Chain A
């Protein structure tokens, strides 16, 4: 069966510091991968998605970036965090061409 992992689970970082969040999927090949951010009391905002290694599409211009160095690994990064980057970050995967997405446990990021 497929599983999706995210780490860390929680993170507290000062403004201006770098960020690296990692997501890995097991039990499937060539998944579509997604990064979402959820602000408190709000819906999910799609940040990036990827249909293959090295292929990244950005939905929202911001100081975040994403990379997919391996088929089942998706990384969210920032060189300098802003206060507004605080939120709950969720990674998700879907089968190629499928609508249903499966979510990881999430990372709660607080920028102080």
Chain B
């Protein structure tokens, strides 16, 4: 059974750095083809993709946020970490980690398993 769970601070101040951890089970990020992404969502809006990390360490970032985002993995702990610098009230939202879909030997970029999300509020 695949599960993902996000953890981190519920409240951060403007200009601070946010660090979120995704702890997962039921799969390994050392397995060829496995991918994990981070997304965020504000109330009433669609999810917004932020970053992706692959089994081989390759990373992809949303262009508009690239200078502020870093994602890394710790395969021994089955965890992925997202850091976002220079937080702003506009970054307030629920942050999700997700696993990319797998069908047979095909690795896709749809999201078949989601964490419950963690609400992050940016306020002084």
Q: Do A and B bind each other?
A: no
User: Which residue numbers of A lie inside 8 Å of B, CB to CB?
Assistant: none
User: Which residue numbers of B lie inside 8 Å of A, CB to CB?
Assistant: none
